[in-house]
């Protein structure tokens, strides 16, 4: 049985999910669905891996070992070193492997990549602890986001690629009647990969944000160099290791995927990105570097910074809404690209089923909801996780000086499991709509601005203007008025931003589901790509047709 045949049922189920955009996942998100001993084994693995060389990766032509990751929970270096390969070596290996991988059939590639995802599934708990101790995500988010949710997105890219690559027949007989005779031709069509792919990872979601571009490049026949953030390598190193194992088992070069590790003081990203052999670049990170990537004469897929907003107009139950907003803003300490930052509220207050709630009571209610969550010893630490970067931590501590009225300052809470964890609870700042200099920019981390407006139309206009200038990945809106909902949807959708309406309970604007929700639209300044739509894969290869009389 070939790997394609082995995984054909998964492929067909995923194709069906893509077609109808319904819920689908072959990777359970509940850790209890896995081997009961897996978590304990992973704890032993992370202990043994720290302060050692990571030997699971291909080390051909490596010049040494490097690494500088620091655990936000322990606030000490984790001591893991990775094979150092200079850019010339990485590219030499990639060029050699490209010819072989490009000639591998679409069905073979599909089977190999889904098999690799199954192997990665067996490492979900290792990946969880690797994510925890490099990003600061709490355990459950580390497991879900870097494990099953990341695998979902990777599989989605593979399946979308398979769908596009098989949308045109390999060959056909073409006949055109010209009266007394037929003009006949045999025609063939071949999808030609564009070439070497560079995937640049970020420090907060090193797996989830990396694997869509990585697997989209691979399924379309392009070898890849993964360039992780120097502070978040370990989790994606596991993914690369498992891919390399599957390639080798199937007689293919391990270097179809390589890990290009560097340090903050000696970066190699630009050297790789600007090299003419690199034909496409996937990037997740800040807007300045993202705009540089977009300026390169290459095929690029970017996810940059944006400012996500919530329009609060009218609700049924205000308490449940404010609790939902507090959780969305506190989850992983606001270090998610989809986390809300700006909450636009009318100066006239918010209408509820129990009557009108004043603007000031809404502001105080937001602060109270945040406080109630973070002060809960069972929910607070597990929701907040830890702050990944020192710069983010400093930004939160200094947020009270940004301007406006400080409603709720940050504080440090204790994580009983990790006493030294770098934690900062959300800041809530009240501003007037005229103070655009305060809120019209991304303040990455747990910082919330409540902006007083003249009404819902004013809130919408401010949100729209902000999206057009700075971009956004998502928008939340709360209204019980159907006409207002239609107006918000029409306005924001035409600014190329999706809207999540009236989310409460277990629905949060932070989360987008693979096979159903597109992540980004590619239409506003927050990024030029959307995964995984058809363009996310089709731009990575070119259809070439030949004709024979």
In angstroms, rounded to a whole number, what is the distance separating the alpha carbons of residues 71 and 11? 37
Q: For tokens 């089709």, what's the residue?
A: 538
Residues 316 and 260 in one domain: no
- On whether the CB atoms of residues 392 and 355 are closer than 8 A, the answer is no
Classify the C-alpha dihedral 303-94-207-411 as positive or negative: negative
pLDDT above 90: residue 141: yes
pLDDT above 90: residue 236: yes
Q: Which domain holds residue 104?
A: 3-167+193-304+529-542
Distances (CA, A) of 95 to 255, 278, 350, 414: 9, 9, 60, 50
In angstroms, rounded to a whole number, what is the distance separating the alpha carbons of residues 211 and 153? 7
In angstroms, rounded to a whole number, what is the distance separating the alpha carbons of residues 326 and 448? 9
- On whether the CB atoms of residues 342 and 329 are closer than 8 A, the answer is no
Close Cβ partners of 378 (under 8 Å, ≥ 6 residues apart): none
Between 206-210, 500-504, 508-512, the lowest mean confidence (pLDDT) is in 508-512
Please report, for the chain, how many H helices and E strands are present, in that order: 20, 19
Preceding omega of 527 cis (within 30 degrees of 0): no
pLDDT of residue 412: 87
Q: Annotate 234-253 with DSSP letters as a single string.
A: HHHHHHHHHHHHHHHHTT--
Residues 335 and 407 in one domain: yes
Residues 289 and 313 in one domain: no
Residues 160 and 253 in one domain: yes
Residues 300 and 345 in one domain: no
pTM of the model: 0.96
**What's the mean pLDDT in 369-391?**
95
Residues 492 and 354 in one domain: yes
Classify the C-alpha dihedral 336-523-288-431 as positive or negative: negative
- On whether the CB atoms of residues 287 and 525 are closer than 8 A, the answer is yes
Tokens found for residue 419: 């006493």
Residues 261 and 345 in one domain: no
pLDDT above 90: residue 103: yes
pLDDT above 90: residue 463: yes
Tokens found for residue 113: 């990549």
**What's the mean pLDDT in 447-458?**
98
Strand partners, 430: 405, 450
Residues 296 and 313 in one domain: no
pLDDT digits (tens, 9 = 90+) for 523-539: 999 999 999 999 999 99
Q: Annotate 328-396 with DSSP letters as a single string.
A: HHHGGGG-STT---EEEEETT-EEETTEEE-HHHHHHHHHHHHHHHHT-TTTHHHHH---S-HHHHHHH
- On whether the CB atoms of residues 432 and 440 are closer than 8 A, the answer is no
Domain CATH for 283: 3.40.605.10
Residues 291 and 332 in one domain: no
Question: Which 3 state secondary structure label does DSSP give 30?
Answer: coil
Count the domains in the chain: 2
Mean confidence (pLDDT) of the chain:
97
- Strands 427-432 and 405-408, bridge-based pairing: antiparallel
> Is 117 within the bounds of a domain?
yes
pLDDT digits (tens, 9 = 90+) for 280-295: 999 999 999 999 999 9
What Rg, from alpha-carbon coordinates, does the chain have?
Answer: 24
Residues 67 and 90 in one domain: yes
pLDDT of residue 136: 97
In angstroms, rounded to a whole number, what is the distance separating the alpha carbons of residues 421 and 417? 9
- The confidence band for 92, taking pLDDT boundaries of 50, 70 and 90, is very high
238-251 core/surface letters (b: 16 or more CB in 10 A; e: else): bbbbbbbbbbeeee
pLDDT of residue 158: 98
pLDDT digits (tens, 9 = 90+) for 160-197: 999 999 999 999 999 999 999 999 999 999 999 999 99
pLDDT digits (tens, 9 = 90+) for 385-416: 999 999 999 999 999 999 999 999 999 899 99
> Is 509 within the bounds of a domain?
no
**Segments of 246-341 assigned E as strands:** 257-259, 278-284, 299-303, 309-312
Domain CATH for 389: 3.40.309.10
Residues 478 and 374 in one domain: yes
Tokens found for residue 212: 């869509």
Residues 292 and 319 in one domain: no
Q: For tokens 């300045």, what's the residue?
A: 288
pLDDT of residue 150: 98
């Amino acid at each position: 049985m070939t790997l394609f045949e082995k995984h054909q049922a998964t492929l067909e189920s995923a194709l069906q999910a893509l077609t109808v955009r319904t819920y689908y996942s072959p990777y359970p998100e509940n850790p209890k669905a896995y081997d009961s001993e897996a978590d304990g084994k992973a704890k032993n693995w992370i202990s043994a891996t720290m302060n050692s060389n990571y030997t699971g990766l291909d080390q051909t032509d490596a010049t040494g070992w490097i690494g500088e990751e620091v655990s936000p929970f322990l606030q000490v270096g984790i001591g893991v070193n990775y094979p150092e390969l200079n850019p010339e070596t990485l590219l030499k290996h990639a060029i050699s492997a490209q010819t072989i991988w490009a000639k591998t059939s679409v069905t073979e590639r599909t089977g190999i990549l889904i098999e690799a995802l199954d192997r990665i599934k067996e490492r979900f708990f290792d990946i969880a602890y690797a994510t925890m101790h490099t990003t600061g995500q709490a355990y459950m988010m580390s497991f879900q986001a870097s494990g099953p949710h990341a695998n979902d997105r990777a599989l989605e890219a593979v399946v979308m690629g398979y769908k596009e690559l098989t949308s045109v027949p390999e060959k056909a007989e073409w006949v055109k009647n010209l009266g007394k005779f037929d003009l006949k031709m045999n025609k063939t069509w071949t999808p030609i990969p564009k070439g070497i792919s560079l995937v640049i990872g970020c420090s907060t979601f090193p797996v989830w944000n990396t694997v869509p571009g990585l697997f989209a490049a691979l399924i379309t026949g392009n070898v890849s160099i993964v360039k992780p953030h120097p502070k978040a390598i370990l989790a994606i190193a596991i993914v690369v290791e498992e891919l390399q194992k599957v390639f080798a088992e199937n007689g293919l070069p391990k270097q179809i995927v390589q890990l290009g590790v560097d340090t903050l003081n000696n970066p190699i990203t630009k050297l790789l990105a600007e090299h003419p052999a690199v034909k496409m670049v996937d990037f997740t990170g800040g807007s300045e570097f993202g705009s540089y990537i977009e300026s390169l004469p290459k095929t690029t897929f970017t996810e940059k910074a944006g400012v996500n907003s919530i329009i609060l107009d009218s609700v049924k139950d205000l308490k449940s809404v404010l609790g939902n907003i507090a959780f969305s803003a506190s989850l992983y300490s606001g270090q998610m690209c989809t986390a809300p930052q700006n909450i636009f509220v009318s100066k006239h207050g918010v209408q509820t089923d129990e009557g009108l709630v004043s603007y000031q009571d809404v502001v105080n209610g937001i602060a109270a909801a945040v406080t109630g969550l973070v002060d809960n010893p069972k929910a607070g630490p597990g929701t907040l996780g830890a702050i990944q970067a020192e710069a983010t931590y400093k930004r939160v501590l200094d947020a009270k000086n940004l301007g406006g009225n400080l409603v709720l300052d940050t504080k440090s809470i204790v994580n009983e499991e990790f006493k030294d964890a770098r934690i900062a609870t959300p800041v809530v700042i009240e501003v007037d709509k005229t103070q655009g200099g305060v809120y019209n920019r991304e303040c990455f981390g747990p910082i919330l601005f409540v902006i007083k407006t003249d009404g819902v139309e004013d809130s919408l206009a401010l949100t729209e203007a902000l999206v057009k200038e700075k971009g956004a990945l998502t928008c939340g809106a709360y209204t019980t008025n159907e006409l207002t909902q239609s107006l918000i949807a029409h306005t924001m959708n035409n600014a190329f931003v999706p809207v999540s309406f009236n989310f409460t309970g277990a629905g949060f604007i932070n989360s987008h589901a693979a096979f159903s929700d597109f992540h980004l639209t590619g239409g506003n300044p927050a990024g030029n790509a959307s995964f995984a739509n058809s363009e996310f894969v089709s731009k990575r290869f070119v259809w070439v047709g030949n004709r024979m009389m």
